[in-house]
Amino acid sequence: MNFEEELYVESFKPEVCNSGFSCGNDKIDYIFNNQCAILEREGKATTNLFYLEEELVGFCTLLADRLSISPAGIFLEGEYPTYYPAIQLYSIGVKAEYQADGIGSLILKWVIGKGFELRKNIGVSFLLLEAFNDQELIKFYTNNGFVDWKYLERNEEDLIPMVYDYRGLDGVI
């Protein structure tokens, strides 16, 4: 199905938490129902809601971040790391019954587009995310221009750091 012309975006509203929205992943549902409102209230992130007609079908949460490309031991050598401004896609979810209909791709393209806008205005270099260690999900992000970022420290084995490089270098520095 082609929802591109019908999908619209609204800013986060706290009343959508615990509204019954579920993407079928307990971790993502927990973030949506418990963390999005807190992150918004504390000014740490913004959540955008995606609707078809009046039905909430997806969301994404974005926050400001930075990425260091310096070797890990640089502080020990008395130097400071080089940082690049970045956006972190903290969370993304599509309502379970709409998965595999292209809505996730549309949301991700919207996020990538927001990054391009920020690049023009404030110089964002990267879009970061941590994907669940699921081959289909990794393939989804890879097909949308992300690369597995082997330089980032992995805090958990079930999360894979990935990056979209706005500088046009496809993640190679």
Q: List all residues 6 or more positions away from 30 whose beta carbon is below 8 Å from its beta carbon.
A: none
Domain hosting 87: range is 7-165
Mean pLDDT per 10-residue interval, the chain, length 173 residues: 78 88 93 93 95 94 85 64 88 93 93 88 89 88 84 66 76 44
Token couple for 40:
């918004």
**DSSP-assigned beta bridge partners for residue 11:** 48
Q: In this structure, is residue 20 part of a structural domain?
A: yes
Q: Is the pTM of this model over 0.75?
A: yes
Total count of domains within the chain:
1
Q: In this structure, is residue 170 part of a structural domain?
A: no
- SS3 call for 167: coil
User: Checking DSSP bridges between strand 55-68 and strand 83-94, what pairing results, if any?
Assistant: antiparallel
Consecutive H or E run containing 74: none
Q: Say which CATH number the domain at 89 has.
A: 3.40.630.30
Cα gap 19→6, rounded to integer Å: 22
DSSP classification of residue 82: P
Which residue shows structure tokens 């023009």?
120
